[in-house]
Amino acid sequence: MRPAMFVMLCIVSIAACKANSSDTVQPVTVQWMEWPAEVSAGQPFRTRLIVWGICAVNPRFQAGPSADESAVTFEPYFLITDDPVYCLAEQPVERLVAISIDTAGIAPALSPDIPRAYEMRASASVYVGTARASALPVRTFGSVIVRPGEPSSTNHNAAGYVSVGIDTLGCVRVLPGWTYGPDRGIVIDNADDTVGIAGAFVRGYIYDLTVPKCGETRAFHLVARN
């Protein structure tokens, strides 16, 4: 979903907000997700979500988490009222960086008797306007291992759409979910494998480096791209 599509989203938002004076559900897609590679059974866990923003006054974000016997799913949305709506074209230039919103969701506790993997899923398609949070298709971002007792890994899995930046020292970083600004990117450790990933949906993991790279102690390892 490009910035031009975000303008269309804002235009659709005007119609949705003016439909009635009660709260309106505005579904949004997840552009990037990070979550622990392993978690303890019976414990909710925090998941980083980067979602598309919306054009509305004081929108109230809801992560929309749910879980079943095979997966954790986030279907995020905003609750908005019939307040005036200010679309992207009407905002000051400095607000153009707010295309995506960096937020979080708490995944429900999972309680298997033995270690097992659950899929991590989220709404992930171009939004064209609907009043039902469940109307957006979901896709699998990756998986989480749930263990009785303590997890054995401190890595975080990560997946979503990325852009790529290279600094003057040749350090390659991925920037998730069309976010912008300093300190938004993370060094990629297999930089030779980045051809064609800009704008693509990728999967990988974030881990602690034994030797700092480009002045950073954590890095993203690319596993797959779609």
Q: What is the pLDDT of residues 32-86, one digit of tens each?
A: 999 999 999 999 999 999 998 887 777 899 999 999 999 999 999 999 875 545 5
Exposed / middle / buried, residue 114 (Cβ in 10 Å: 0-12, 13-18, 19+): exposed
Q: What is the pLDDT of residues 90-107, one digit of tens each?
A: 555 444 445 789 999 999
Cβ contacts of 177-186, under 8 Å, gap ≥ 24: 177/31, 177/32, 177/50, 177/51, 177/100, 177/102, 178/3, 178/31, 178/99, 178/100, 179/32, 179/50, 179/100, 179/102, 180/97, 180/99, 181/97, 186/216, 186/218, 186/219, 186/220
Q: What is the pLDDT of residues 178-217, one digit of tens each?
A: 787 667 799 999 988 777 888 899 999 999 999 999 999 9
The predicted model gives 164-174 an average pLDDT of: 88
Q: What is the pLDDT of residues 108-136, one digit of tens each?
A: 999 999 999 999 999 996 444 444 444 68
Q: Where are the domains of the chain?
A: 3-147, 160-225
Q: Hey, what are 122's tokens?
A: 């989220």
